[in-house]
Chain A
Amino acid sequence: MKTMKKIKGTTILAAVIFLLLAALPFYMPMFRVSLFGKYMCFAIIALGLDMIWGYTGILSLGHGVYFGLGAYCMAMYLKLEAAGGNLPDFMSWSGLDRLPAAWVPFGNPVFAVAMAVAVPVLLAVIIGYLTFTNKIRGVYFSILSQAMAMIMGTLLIGSQAFTGGSNGLTDFKTIFGQDIHAPVTKIVMFYVTLLVLVLLFALCRFLTGRRVGKVLIAIRDGENRAGFAGYNTANYKVFVYALSAFMAGIAGALYVGQVGIISPAEVGVVPSVEMIIWVAIGGKGTLIGPVLGALAVNSLKTTASENFPELWSYFIGVLFVVVILWLPGGVISLKEIPGKIRAKLRLHREETSSAEEKIPDKTAVRSK
Chain B
Amino acid sequence: MKKRTFGAIVLSAVLAASLAGCSGGAMTEITDKETNKTETASGSEEDSKDSIKVGILHSLSGTMAISETSVRDAELLAIKEINVAGGVLGKQLEPVVEDGASDNATFKEKAEKLLLNDKVATVFGCWTSASRKAVLPTFESNNGLLWYPVQYEGMEASKNIFYVGAAPNQQIVPAIEYMNENYGKKVFLLGSDYVFPRTANSIVKKQAEDLGMEVVGEEYTPMGHTDYTTIISKIQDVKPDFVFNTLNGDSNVAFFKQYKDAGLTPDEIQTLSVSIAEEEAAGIGASYLEGHLVAWNYYQTTDTPENKKFVEAYKAEYGEERVTDDPIEAGYDAVYLWAAAVEKAGTTDVDQVREAAGGIEFKAPEGTITIDGENQHMYKPVRIGMVNGEGLIDEVWSTDGPVKPDPYLESYEWAKGLSNVQ
Chains A, B in direct contact (C-beta < 8 Å): yes
Interface residues of A (CB under 8 A from B): 4-6, 8-10, 12-13, 16-17, 20, 24-35, 38, 86-87, 89-90, 92-95, 154, 157-158, 160, 164-168, 170-172, 181, 183-184, 186-187, 259-261, 263, 265-266, 292, 295-296, 299, 302, 305-306, 309-310, 312-313, 331-332, 334-339, 342
Contact of A309 among B5, B60, B137 (CB under 8 A): B60
B84 within 8 A of A: no
Q: Contacts A26-B25, A266-B105, A305-B101: A158 and B193 contacting too (C-beta < 8 A)? A: yes
Q: In the complex the two chains form, is A17's CB within 8 Å of B12's CB?
A: yes
Contact A26 B27 (CB under 8 A): yes
Q: Residues 289-316 of chain B: 1 if any A CB is under 8 Å from the residue's CB, otherwise 0?
A: 0000000000000000000000000000
Indicate if the CB atoms of A31 and B419 lie closer than 8 Å.
no
A-binding segment of B15-23, B333-341, B355-363 = B15-23
Contact with A along B147-159 (1 / 0, CB 8 A): 0000001010000
**What residues on B are CB-neighbors of A342 within 8 Å?**
3
Contact assessment for B24 and A265 in the assembled complex, using a CB-CB cutoff below 8 Å: no
Which B72-109 residues have C-beta < 8 A from chain A? 97-99, 101-106, 108-109
Knowing A27-B23, A94-B199, the reply to whether A154 touches B8 (Cβ < 8 A) is no
Given the known interface contacts A165-B195, A305-B101, the answer about A187 and B27 at a Cβ–Cβ threshold of 8 Å is yes
18 pairs, CB–CB < 8 Å, chain A vs chain B? A9-B1, A26-B26, A28-B22, A31-B116, A90-B195, A92-B418, A93-B199, A93-B421, A154-B193, A157-B193, A160-B195, A160-B198, A168-B133, A170-B133, A183-B33, A334-B10, A338-B10, A339-B3
Of B33, B104, B153, the residue contacting A261 (CB under 8 A) is B104
Give bound CA distance, A13 to B222, whole Å: 45
Query: Does B233 sit within 8 A of A, measured CB to CB?
Result: no
Residues on the A chain within 8 Å of B108, using CB: 259-261
B194 interface neighbour in A9, A157, A266, Cβ under 8 Å: A157
**A-B interface, 7 closest residue pairs, ranked by CB to CB distance from nearest:** A335-B7, A9-B4, A166-B194, A16-B12, A13-B8, A181-B141, A309-B99
User: Which of B6, B19, B30, B222 is A338 in contact with, Cβ under 8 Å?
Assistant: B6
* Interface residue? B70 (CB, 8 A): no
User: B117 on the interface (CB 8 Å rule)?
Assistant: yes
CB contacts (< 8 Å) of B137 on chain A: these are 170-172, 181, 260-261
Q: Specify which of A167, A187, A296 is in contact with B195 (CB 8 Å cutoff).
A: A167
Given contacts A89-B421, A261-B108, contact A183 B12 (CB under 8 A): no
A-side contacts of B101, CB under 8 Å = 305
Residue pair B12, A93 in contact (C-beta under 8 Å)? no
CB 8 Å contact bits of B111-136 with A (1 = contact, 0 = none): 01100110000000000111001101
Residues on the B chain within 8 Å of A186, using CB: 26
Known contacts A9-B5, A29-B25, A87-B420; A263 and B222 CB within 8 A of each other? no
A265 near B103 (CB under 8 angstroms)?
yes
- In the complex with contacts A31-B117, A313-B61, A13-B3 CB distance below 8 A: no
B7 touches A339 (CB 8 A): yes
Partner pick for A168 among B104, B202, B220, CB 8 A cutoff? B104
- Are B1 and A8 in contact, with the CB atoms below 8 A? yes
Q: Is B9 an interface residue (CB 8 A)?
A: yes
- CB of B117, distance to nearest CB on chain A (Å): 6
Among residues 237 to 259 in chain B, which have CB atoms less than 8 Å away from a CB atom of chain A? none
Given contacts A183-B30, A335-B7, contact A92 B98 (CB under 8 A): no
A332 to chain B, nearest CB (A): 8
Out of B12, B19, B97, B153, name the residue touching A24 (CB < 8 Å): B19
Contact A166 B128, CB 8 Å, known A17-B15, A93-B199, A183-B30: yes
Complex: A71 Cα to B10 Cα, angstroms? 36
- Complex Cα distance A12/B8, Å? 7
A329 to chain B, nearest CB (A): 12
Report whether B11 and A13 are in contact in the complex, using a CB–CB cutoff of 8 Å: yes
Q: Does A5 contact B1, Cβ atoms closer than 8 Å?
A: yes
Q: Which residue of A lies closest to B128 (CB)?
A: A166
CB-CB under 8 A for A31 and B113, given A93-B155, A263-B105: yes
B202 touches A94 (CB 8 A): yes
Name 13 extra pairs, CB < 8 A, besides A154-B222, A157-B193, A339-B7.
A5-B1, A5-B4, A16-B12, A30-B29, A93-B419, A94-B198, A158-B220, A165-B198, A166-B130, A167-B129, A259-B109, A263-B104, A334-B10
Q: Are A187 and B30 in contact (CB under 8 A)?
A: yes
Which of B5, B116, B133 meets A171, CB within 8 Å? B133
Contact B99 A312 (CB under 8 A): yes
Q: In the complex, what distance in Å separates the CA atom of A27 from the CA atom of B99? A: 26
Which listed residue (B15, B106, B130) contacts A167, Cβ 8 A? B130
Instruction: Choose from B26, B134, B136 the contact partner of A29 (Cβ within 8 Å).
Output: B26
In the complex, which residues of chain B have a beta carbon less than 8 angstroms from the beta carbon of A164?
195
Docked CA distance A167–B141 (Å):
19
B223 near A: Cβ within 8 Å?
yes
A28 contact from B9, B19, B109, Cβ within 8 A: B19
Q: B136 to chain A: which residues have CB within 8 Å?
A: 170-171
A4 to B5, CA, bound (A): 12
Residue of A89, A90, A167 with highest tally of chain B CB at under 10 A: A167
Contact assessment for A292 and B5 in the assembled complex, using a CB-CB cutoff below 8 Å: no
CA distance A158 to B222 in the complex (A): 8
A154 to B128 CA separation, bound complex (whole angstroms): 18
CB distance from B52 to the nearest CB of A (A): 20
Which residue of chain B has its CB nearest to the CB of A333? B7
Q: Are B22 and A309 in contact (CB under 8 A)?
A: no
Distance, CA A313 to CA B29, complexed state (A): 33
Smallest Cβ distance from B68 to chain A, in angstroms? 12
- Residues of the B chain whose Cβ atoms lie less than 8 Å from the Cβ of A12: 5, 8-9
Chain B residue with Cβ nearest A153: B222
In chain B, residues 326-375, which have Cβ atoms closer than 8 Å to a Cβ of chain A? none
